[in-house]
Amino acid sequence: MTGRTVTPQWQKSSYSGGGEGNDCVEIANLHSHIAVRDSKA
């Protein structure tokens, strides 16, 4: 570990449902990893 903090830049995945915004999958590139989160309303 380098002790470096990475602030994720979240973006909506192209696989998100869109529509009413109820089906939202977001991704972020963390350099050595890809983070995925479900941000359903």
pLDDT by residue for the chain (41 residues), tens digit each?
A: 566 777 889 888 776 666 665 568 888 998 888 998 887 65
pLDDT (0 to 100) of residue 39: 74
- The whole-angstrom separation of Cα 14 and Cα 25 is 8
Rounded-to-10 torsion of CA 8, 11, 16, 22: 80
Residue 17 and residue 39 in contact, taking contact as beta carbons nearer than 8 Å: no
